[in-house]
Structure 1
Amino acid sequence: MSLVAVLLVSCSALGDAPTRATESPVATAQPTALPTAKPQRIPQGLVASGTFHSTDGTTTGAVDVVVNGHVAELELRDLVSTHERLGVRAPLRDSEGDPCVDSHAFAFTDIVAGTPTDPLIMPLSLGRGDPTFISEIALTTMTQADGSSHCINLVVARAPLVWTFGPLRPYLDTLVDDGIRGGASGEVVFDATGRPVTYTVAPNDLLPEVAGRFGITVDDVFYLNPARGPSPQDPMLYVGEVLNLNFRER
């Protein structure tokens, strides 16, 4: 299985680049006790399945996601398409209403419809060992470079995934905001039950302090924000960046 997969991220929007939160020393409150619970291990074997639906009837088939050791293998079944060559994408953000998958997606190697293919490989390091944030697999085709479409990778079929297990860090469903502290003075949004669901980075914020404000680890922040750009594990925070704190919305 020598197939190649790459992670696509969107280019920076035109205009001023985000401002980095200052790294200068700041007064720090007493750290919150970090969780003693450990992430659950992902099950081995078949963990998700989906059926491809095509609005124009060009493509049918199904897909299984099978965990084998430290990788997830994508197995396409009964694939039939009028398109000879198809791209295979796992959008990292909700893209159900988007006709394109041009950014924020894990890109598998292209396939030739009707030709048997080895399983397509995705490392479990994507999503910190928990790929349940991926809601679908999309099959795409390259559009013409004549200006007739704003897409590069046009979706021809989607397969919503049904996972056999829930998020592997359930302890993140009980976060509590300990309040403003040095290095974590940003704005918090709460849901109707009072649980924090988002955090907006303020000047002088530091990632360990932001994590400590909610009693979690930096790795938990990465887990909750698998589609964070420019890199999910970027230790730098950017003023105005919105961090997700709701493990159901990762």
Structure 2
Amino acid sequence: MGNRGAAARILSVVAAAAIVASAVSGCTLLARPATGSTPTPTASAEPVPLPQQLPHTLVAGQTLATGRLAAVPHDPIDSPRATDPLTGEVRVVVDSALRIEVRVRPDHPVDVDPDNPGLELTSDRYDGGPAAVQDSRHPLGHGIGEKLQTDPDGELVMPVMPGTRQDLGDLSYFHSLVATVPGDERAVAAAALTWTTASPFPDLHPADGGAIPFARGTTIVDGGALTGYVPNPYDTLFAVSQRFGIRVVELIYLNPWLGYIDPQLKSGIAINLDPARR
């Protein structure tokens, strides 16, 4: 009888110790998961598309840029549009649907072909600024929804392709509007565009942190300032952006010619790292 009582007391002590241990460890001895149940997976956040990472601050009626389209020296070109090119005041504005329009108020009546106006936005510089690493061009009047129109007061209106160029967030990499003649890329008139929009990344200052895996290319330095980078084979946008202390969206912003849909680096083809050379 005494032995049975001692054994009962020992079992009680063991059980109590087990309960204390389970409470400390966070386990529950009595609860078991239901047969066949599986843990609910934690939903992972979908990556935000690059265009959506850019701040969009377009306001209807806003003037984004201004300039003056004036004749420029060029080799002789056998075309009336070369000897008497379109000139006038230029505005880049936001319409009521938040689309971007290029508007030209001609100095005098000029015959402009609505199907081929011979006007394009370009990264070419006519203001003495540093040249862009890569050329960017956008002919006006050729895309869907870009038909040349003329307002009742005579101002020429050329919408920029809806839903594409606007997605780049900031069109200020188009430094000029140029006029050409059919079959010839030489400018017969040009306007240096002065943009009034602020940069979406005002604190963007890439700095070289040194080569890392998948970012072992060569930097370009001009006057002691970092201006560009030449990728190596197998370099990736993410690794290169990490090397220079910026985000991928900022790297694409500096190089809009890469595009925001499946952008890819090309070995040996330099990219820009200087906001002034965008």
Fold equivalence (TM over 0.5) = yes
Greater share of strand residues, 1 or 2? 1
Name the counterpart of 1:14: none
Aligned partner of 1:132 among 162, 172, 176:
172
Task: Please state how far the C-alpha of 1:140 moved relative to its aligned partner.
Answer: 2.1
Which structure has more RCO (C-alpha within 8 Å, separation ≥ 6)? Answer: 1
Task: Please state how far the C-alpha of 1:205 moved relative to its aligned partner.
Answer: 1.0
5+ residue gaps, structure 2, are 1-52, 73-82, 129-134, 143-147
Residues 106, 181 of structure 1: CA spacing in aligned structure 2 closer, same or farther, 3 A cutoff? same
Classify the secondary structure of the residue corresponding to 2:211.
Answer: coil
Alignment of 1:247 onto 2:275? yes
- Deviation digits for residues 160-205 of structure 1, max 9, x if unmatched? 1111234221121x22211111110011123445x53211101221
Task: Please state how far the C-alpha of 1:66 moved relative to its aligned partner.
Answer: 0.8
Provide the C-alpha distance between the structure 1 equivalents of 2:236 and 2:198, rounded to a whole number of angstroms.
30
Name the counterpart of 1:16: none
Classify the secondary structure of the residue corresponding to 1:131.
Answer: coil
Instruction: Give 1:1-12 correspondences, 5 Å limit.
Output: none
TM-score (norm 1): 0.66
Residues 114, 138 of structure 1: CA spacing in aligned structure 2 closer, same or farther, 3 A cutoff? farther
Classify the secondary structure of the residue corresponding to 1:211.
Answer: helix
Residues 140, 192 of structure 1: CA spacing in aligned structure 2 closer, same or farther, 3 A cutoff? closer
Q: Which amino acid aligns with 1:203?
A: P
Aligned partner of 2:182 among 126, 129, 142:
142
Instruction: Give 1:167-186 correspondences, 5 Å limit.
Output: 167-172=199-204, 174-186=205-217
Task: Please state how far the C-alpha of 1:76 moved relative to its aligned partner.
Answer: 1.9
Provide the C-alpha distance between the structure 2 equivalents of 1:233 and 1:58, rounded to a whole number of angstroms.
36
5+ residue gaps, structure 1, are 1-37, 98-102, 144-150
Q: Tell me if the contact between 1:92 and 1:227 (Cα under 8 Å) persists in the aligned partners.
A: no
Name the counterpart of 2:157: 119
Name the counterpart of 2:121: 90
- Deviation digits for residues 76-102 of structure 1, max 9, x if unmatched? 2135355443322101344789xxxxx
Q: Which of these two proteins has the greater Rg computed from alpha carbons?
A: 2
Q: Which amino acid aligns with 1:225?
A: N
Q: Tell me if the contact between 1:81 and 1:113 (Cα under 8 Å) persists in the aligned partners.
A: no
Q: Which amino acid aligns with 1:139?
A: A
Name the counterpart of 2:139: 107
The number of residues matched between the two structures is 196
Classify the secondary structure of the residue corresponding to 2:71.
Answer: coil
Greater share of helix residues, 1 or 2? 2
Provide the C-alpha distance between the structure 1 equivalents of 2:175 and 2:243, rounded to a whole number of angstroms.
29
Task: Please state how far the C-alpha of 1:104 moved relative to its aligned partner.
Answer: 4.0
Q: Which amino acid aligns with 1:106?
A: H
